[in-house]
Chains A and B, each alone.
Chain A
Amino acid sequence: MTRTLWLSGLRYHLRHRWQLVLAVVGIALGVAVVVAVDLANESARRAFALSMESISGRATHQIVGSPLGIDEALYASLRGEGLRPSAPVVEGFAESRGRTFRLLGLDPFSEPPFRSHISFLSRGEIDLNRLLTESGTVVISRSNVRDLGLGIGDPLELDIGGRQVVVSIAGTMDSDDRMERQALNGMLIADIATAQELLGMVGRLSHIDLILGPAEAETLRTRLPSGIDLQRSESRTQVMEQMTRAFSVNLTALSLLALLVGLFLIYNTMTFSVVQRRPLLGNLRGLGTSRREIFSLIAGEALLLGAVGTAIGIGVGIALAQGLLGLVTRTINDLYFVLNVTALAITPAALAKAVLLGLGATLAAAIAPALKATRTPPRLVTTRSREESRYRIVAPRAAAMGGIVMAVGALLLLYPSQALAPGFIALFLIILGFALAVPWVTGMMVSLLERLGRRRFGTPERLALRGVQASLSRTAVAIAALAVAVSVSIGMAVMVDSFRQTVHQWLQFTLQADIYISPGSAISARRSPPLLPEVISRVRQTSGVADLSTYRSLEVNSEFGPVQLQALHLNSQSRTGYRFQAEKPKRIWPAFERGAVLVSEPFAHRHRVVPGDRLNLDTEHGARTFPIAGIFYDYESDRGTVVMARAVYEQWFADQKVSGLGVYLEPGADVEQTMERLQSRVSDLQGVRIRSNRDLREASLAIFDRTFTITEVLRLLAVAVAFSGVFSALMALQLEKAREFAILRATGMTPGELWRLVTLQNGVMGLIAGLLALPPGLLLAAILIEVINRRAFGWTLWLQIPAEALIEGVLLAVAAALLAGLYPAHRLASSPPAAALREE
């Protein structure tokens, strides 16, 4: 490669600055989306691992019991038998001024071997004596105390499960290590007795931490009483990671879709630059430039574009990740577990992946145009019109090939598998096949439009259509890129809307009670503390209340690790809210009353269980198996839920607590008035949330919308990638025609007519792209719903086709195309044609 050859490429791009800038923007945005999602996921994962590590410390094992914890007498007895090092832990959550804190109750004397960063408490600004002897004292991180504007000795108001308590700050903790400091943020440490008291766990422990060798662990396991288990510390972290795996994978997949759109746009840019430069490339070949050198030139340019785009993309991605991190954390908190993430973890691995992806995608997209460039004959024996004619001949063959590629994709979808990768490969093949068919379909559509408008169209209109048809080698690539981009946007929009509609319908039949009461804590639905028994009895005695259904929600250990268990007391009306996959409710409910459990659809999918299988759960009386009577539709959690009859639960778990109530009113009772009565009767006992059926439904949908904000953001980013690419492609297309338009102007076309021509031509291309995007967009939505979502989460979603999403997609395409035409139309129409004619 000679310097002059490089210069020819460089100057070409400098002369087409707009095209260059927008291509770089397209790559940068594509990379930025992937980087942002990657960093946000990784930061959440790290924050979680860190918080687990800060809690587990150097413990190798943990003794865990039923959901109600372990009797602290067990700790005393094991310690008496010489089991050391061992440390008791009480764990829960508290809220203060909109922040969620993990409240950790520890025994400072047992701590040193376990949590070094917590055992340094003795070195911190802390009144250890006060912490140990005075009830209601806590230690908090220095940065938290600073943010809250408090100091040592100040009171701190906490909301623990709807109960308002005030604790006193006995000291602050800090660390020189950045990661440790991050782990300490959002943590409150108290003496074990204080934590037991605050969390309502007097006499109980959450778990006992141990440092054991494998042999010691085996011996200890055999000595533990029934209902108590010994777990390896890392298994807890692994289970938590598995919980969010599908969520992370799905986000990554959606970000890759945005990159895929970027990929098409890079392909478009490079193809266009090759097609545009055919005469120049022909000259270069005539001067003795080898095919290899031409290939290197085009691939090198792509690499340079890719490098610049990737570098900018990484920068933008990091900034974007800050925003996404909040959304990811909020979704994890809404759906999975409490997580505090304050810092973005920018790992070299994530950056390396972005570089590889950005450069790799650019190169992959440039290979076909680069190969095309090498086939430019040394002297341009083929004329543009012959090249276009040949393109029109090849177009049907390309469409047939596209059909085959799509069929392969469809076959891959039909292949029975639970893996996500084949689903995404199939998705890619279908999009690729579709793109191959675009030139032929575009030609057909334009011909049809020409025929339809033969009598009605004026000269600008007919020239506009003719322009699309006559430059199909260029216009079709731009239309394909636009259609792919819009189809991705439509696909994601339809998927989200279908999901929302499904959830909406599900809420409608699931929520049967008139009023719902739950503890007032907003920490996390998964961590709700119980309602006080007095609250329940007052509710029952309130006038207007006819009947109650109760639920108890908690995490229990099972053969699959911790699972969400709901113990329900259902009346006949609330039973109608359950819809089952295949089995008859008439057979299910009696079995349920006799001791069988129901599992939600995601649970059955995740753990591969079917009705008739048996499920092992750790109860107060040790491990017990429960037959599975049915699988019900449930969209509350992708982890899945096990439902058990209240009576069966009380028998095996010796727990009388209730996490929430469904209140059924007497006929004619007013919902609003009853809610006011209930509020006034229980507010002095416990902070509770009393919501009507409609309020709860709206609140649930609001949470749904919150958790899908991130999908919407990713969709908008994909749209932005598409928009920049399309803008670039169509603007380049029109600017390339500067001379042609100048001739038209010189021949007598007015500036207004030229405006009409350019605008119409772009509008037609946008419209064709928008219309062509509809079938693959819907197909994409169907695949996301039927294959990707089902494989990732196990949800059955009903495909809903919202007209707005389709119209929006078409409008997006038309708007992008029209906007792209504004500048060329303005430039060409406002300057005298002599200038453009002279420029050649």
Chain B
Amino acid sequence: MFLELHNLAKEYLEGGHRRTVFSHLDLGVTSGERIVLLGRSGSGKSTLLNLISGIDRPSAGEIRVDEARLTTMNESQRTRFRRRHIGFVYQSFNLIPTLTVEENVRLPLELNGRRTAGELKRASDLLERVGLGDRLDSFPDTLSGGEQQRVALARALAHEPALLLADEPTGNLDAETGARMLQLIDELTREERVTLIMVSHGTEALPLADRVLRLEQGRLLEGLPETAR
């Protein structure tokens, strides 16, 4: 298995009360598999992606990515692992406002020590690929939402990660832009042979999926809900 979750749990403290997002969660994902994760708002989908990426820590359980045990790593080790193996596309783009479009995409390359002109050219190539080759020097806040999300996708793939996590990447986009975005994700992840886990609360991403999972009341279930079939 490329990705394994064993007995995973996450709890939060809210106003002195402990709230369990999920517990006893198990999952196995093979390399190159494309998973769409469905669930209502607040069901814990984003939390699960945060745990898999290592930007958050589980309350219990184990996460293995490509044989590496994320749960035994410290903060720095998780970060180094993430920057080598994982790409993340957020619903709210999360571009660095003080960096230009090209600099945003170069960032993961540079963090991985890929700083030669040849290596950095991948940033402009990817931006060309997502249709933003003419906006390299623009700052994120001068772009439309769709354009910003394309930059975010290019950035997530820049360092050739093995795993791409996408947290409702079309959530802030209109239907047409969202559809184009999904198409781009589909094309690029196939070209790059990346394992994909995409969170969505609608069904528009289902055509991309090899497998559909849903997170309901703290449990991870296979397949579409009854209502969607």
Chain A bound to chain B: yes
Residue A58, interface by CB 8 Å: no
Residue A448, interface by CB 8 Å: no
Report how far A463 CA is from B103 CA in the complex, Å. 10
Write out the residue numbers on chain B whose beta carbons fall within 8 Å of the beta carbon of A834. 47, 50, 55-56
In the complex, residue of chain B having the shortest beta-carbon distance to the beta carbon of A385: B139
Q: Is A746 a contact partner of B96 (Cβ separation < 8 A)? A: no
Q: Is B97 a contact partner of A466 (Cβ separation < 8 A)? A: no
Q: Is A840 a contact partner of B111 (Cβ separation < 8 A)? A: no
Write out the residue numbers on chain B whose beta carbons fall within 8 Å of the beta carbon of A832. 55-57, 75
Q: Is A748 a contact partner of B82 (Cβ separation < 8 A)? A: yes
Which chain B residues (149-182) contact chain A, with CB distance < 8 Å? 155, 159
Residue A386, interface by CB 8 Å: yes
Q: Is A751 a contact partner of B98 (Cβ separation < 8 A)? A: no
A747 with B108, Cβ < 8 A, contacts A832-B55, A832-B57, A837-B55 known: yes
Report how far A625 CA is from B94 CA in the complex, Å. 87
Q: Is B108 a contact partner of A837 (Cβ separation < 8 A)? A: no
Write out the residue numbers on chain A whose beta carbons fall within 8 Å of the beta carbon of B112. 748
In the complex, residue of chain A having the shortest beta-carbon distance to the beta carbon of B56: A834
Q: How far is the CB of B30 from chain A (nearest CB, A)?
A: 24
Write out the residue numbers on chain A whose beta carbons fall within 8 Å of the beta carbon of B98. 466-467, 470-471, 740
In the complex, residue of chain A having the shortest beta-carbon distance to the beta carbon of B50: A834
Q: How far is the CB of B203 from chain A (nearest CB, A)?
A: 26
Residue A286, interface by CB 8 Å: no
In the complex, residue of chain A having the shortest beta-carbon distance to the beta carbon of B90: A837
> Which of B50, B57, B90, B155 has its CB near the most chain A CB atoms (within 10 A)?
B50
Q: Is B96 a contact partner of A745 (Cβ separation < 8 A)? A: no
Residue A630, interface by CB 8 Å: no
A750 with B76, Cβ < 8 A, contacts A832-B55, A833-B55 known: yes
Q: How far is the CB of B114 from chain A (nearest CB, A)?
A: 11
Write out the residue numbers on chain B whose beta carbons fall within 8 Å of the beta carbon of A467. 98
Q: How far is the CB of B140 from chain A (nearest CB, A)?
A: 8
In the complex, residue of chain A having the shortest beta-carbon distance to the beta carbon of B97: A384
Report how far A832 CA is from B73 CA in the complex, Å. 13
In the complex, residue of chain B having the shortest beta-carbon distance to the beta carbon of A380: B141
Q: How far is the CB of B179 from chain A (nearest CB, A)?
A: 26
- Return the contact of A749 from the options B53, B79, B141 (Cβ within 8 A): B79
Residue B142, interface by CB 8 Å: yes
Return the CB mask of B19-62 against A: 1 if under 8 Å, else 0.
Answer: 00000000000000000000000000001001001011100000
Report how far A830 CA is from B75 CA in the complex, Å. 8
Write out the residue numbers on chain A whose beta carbons fall within 8 Å of the beta carbon of B107. 459, 744, 747
Q: Is B110 a contact partner of A747 (Cβ separation < 8 A)? A: no
In the complex, residue of chain A having the shortest beta-carbon distance to the beta carbon of B107: A747
Report how far A752 CA is from B80 CA in the complex, Å. 11
Write out the residue numbers on chain B whose beta carbons fall within 8 Å of the beta carbon of A740. 96-98
Report how far A467 CA is from B99 CA in the complex, Å. 8
In the complex, residue of chain A having the shortest beta-carbon distance to the beta carbon of B86: A748
Report how far A749 CA is from B110 CA in the complex, Å. 10
Report how far A384 CA is from B96 CA in the complex, Å. 12
Report how far A750 CA is from B140 CA in the complex, Å. 23
Write out the residue numbers on chain A whose beta carbons fall within 8 Å of the beta carbon of B75. 750-751, 830, 832
- Return the contact of A746 from the options B55, B76, B97, B99 (Cβ within 8 A): B55
Q: Is B79 a contact partner of A745 (Cβ separation < 8 A)? A: yes
In the complex, residue of chain A having the shortest beta-carbon distance to the beta carbon of B87: A747
> Which of A749, A835, A840 has its CB near the most chain B CB atoms (within 10 A)?
A749
Q: Is A746 a contact partner of B53 (Cβ separation < 8 A)? A: yes
Report how far A129 CA is from B107 CA in the complex, Å. 98
Return the CB mask of A709-751 against B: 1 if under 8 Å, else 0.
Answer: 0000000000000000000000000000001100111111111
Write out the residue numbers on chain A whose beta carbons fall within 8 Å of the beta carbon of B108. 747-748
In the complex, residue of chain B having the shortest beta-carbon distance to the beta carbon of A462: B110
Q: Is A748 a contact partner of B111 (Cβ separation < 8 A)? A: yes
Write out the residue numbers on chain A whose beta carbons fall within 8 Å of the beta carbon of B111. 459, 747-749, 753
Write out the residue numbers on chain B whose beta carbons fall within 8 Å of the beta carbon of A383. 139, 141-142
Return the CB mask of A440-467 against B: 1 if under 8 Å, else 0.
Answer: 0000000000000000001100110011
Return the CB mask of B70-85 against A: 1 if under 8 Å, else 0.
Answer: 0000011001101110
Q: Is B94 a contact partner of A743 (Cβ separation < 8 A)? A: yes
Which chain A residues (741-779) contact chain B, with CB distance < 8 Å? 743-753
Report how far A835 CA is from B88 CA in the complex, Å. 16
Report how far A745 CA is from B75 CA in the complex, Å. 10
Q: How far is the CB of B134 from chain A (nearest CB, A)?
A: 17
In the complex, residue of chain A having the shortest beta-carbon distance to the beta carbon of B110: A459
Report how far A470 CA is from B137 CA in the complex, Å. 13
Report how far A385 CA is from B148 CA in the complex, Å. 14
In the complex, residue of chain B having the shortest beta-carbon distance to the beta carbon of A383: B141
Which chain B residues (126-149) contact chain A, with CB distance < 8 Å? 139-142
In the complex, residue of chain A having the shortest beta-carbon distance to the beta carbon of B75: A751
Q: How far is the CB of A651 from chain B (nearest CB, A)?
A: 83
Report how far A830 CA is from B76 CA in the complex, Å. 10
Write out the residue numbers on chain A whose beta carbons fall within 8 Å of the beta carbon of B53. 746
Q: How far is the CB of A685 from chain B (nearest CB, A)?
A: 81
In the complex, residue of chain A having the shortest beta-carbon distance to the beta carbon of B95: A743
Report how far A743 CA is from B140 CA in the complex, Å. 14
Write out the residue numbers on chain A whose beta carbons fall within 8 Å of the beta carbon of B84. 748
Q: How far is the CB of A12 from chain B (nearest CB, A)?
A: 20
Report how far A639 CA is from B75 CA in the complex, Å. 69
- Return the contact of A751 from the options B50, B79, B92, B141 (Cβ within 8 A): B79
Report how far A463 CA is from B84 CA in the complex, Å. 19
Q: Is A748 a contact partner of B83 (Cβ separation < 8 A)? A: yes
Q: How far is the CB of A166 from chain B (nearest CB, A)?
A: 77
Q: Is A384 a contact partner of B141 (Cβ separation < 8 A)? A: yes
Return the CB mask of A457-487 against B: 1 if under 8 Å, else 0.
Answer: 0110011001100110000000000000000
Write out the residue numbers on chain B whose beta carbons fall within 8 Å of the beta carbon of A386. 141-142
Write out the residue numbers on chain B whose beta carbons fall within 8 Å of the beta carbon of A835. 56
Q: How far is the CB of B102 from chain A (nearest CB, A)?
A: 13
Write out the residue numbers on chain B whose beta carbons fall within 8 Å of the beta carbon of A384. 97, 139, 141
Q: Is B97 a contact partner of A385 (Cβ separation < 8 A)? A: yes
> Which of A467, A470, A746, A753 has its CB near the most chain B CB atoms (within 10 A)?
A746
Report how far A648 CA is from B167 CA in the complex, Å. 100
Return the CB mask of A815-839 against B: 1 if under 8 Å, else 0.
Answer: 0000000000000001011110100
Q: How far is the CB of B228 from chain A (nearest CB, A)?
A: 28
Q: How far is the CB of A349 from chain B (nearest CB, A)?
A: 51
Write out the residue numbers on chain A whose beta carbons fall within 8 Å of the beta carbon of B94. 739, 743, 746, 837
A750 with B79, Cβ < 8 A, contacts A459-B111, A834-B50 known: yes
Q: How far is the CB of B51 from chain A (nearest CB, A)?
A: 9
Write out the residue numbers on chain A whose beta carbons fall within 8 Å of the beta carbon of B88. 746-747
Report how far A458 CA is from B107 CA in the complex, Å. 11
In the complex, residue of chain B having the shortest beta-carbon distance to the beta carbon of A458: B110
Write out the residue numbers on chain B whose beta carbons fall within 8 Å of the beta carbon of A840. 92
Return the CB mask of A783-818 against B: 1 if under 8 Å, else 0.
Answer: 000000000000000000000000000000000000
Write out the residue numbers on chain B whose beta carbons fall within 8 Å of the beta carbon of A752. 76
Q: How far is the CB of B151 from chain A (nearest CB, A)?
A: 12
Report how far A753 CA is from B159 CA in the complex, Å. 18
Write out the residue numbers on chain B whose beta carbons fall within 8 Å of the beta carbon of A746. 53, 55, 82, 88, 94
> Which of A740, A833, A835 has its CB near the most chain B CB atoms (within 10 A)?
A833
Instruction: Return the 9 tightest CB-CB contacts between A and B, nearest first.
Output: A748-B83, A385-B139, A470-B98, A834-B56, A383-B141, A459-B110, A750-B79, A834-B50, A743-B94
A-B contact pairs, 16 of them (CB 8 A): A383-B142, A384-B139, A385-B97, A470-B98, A470-B99, A744-B107, A745-B55, A746-B94, A747-B88, A748-B159, A749-B79, A750-B80, A751-B79, A832-B55, A834-B50, A840-B92
Chain B residues packing against A (C-beta within 8 Å)? 47, 50, 53, 55-57, 75-76, 79-80, 82-84, 88, 90, 92, 94-99, 103, 107-108, 110-112, 139-142, 155, 159
Chain A residues packing against B (C-beta within 8 Å)? 383-386, 458-459, 462-463, 466-467, 470-471, 739-740, 743-753, 830, 832-835, 837, 840
Known A386-B141, A740-B96, A747-B155; further 20 A-B contacts with Cβ < 8 A: A384-B97, A384-B139, A384-B141, A463-B99, A466-B98, A470-B97, A471-B98, A740-B97, A743-B94, A743-B95, A743-B96, A745-B79, A746-B88, A747-B88, A747-B108, A748-B112, A750-B76, A752-B76, A832-B75, A837-B90
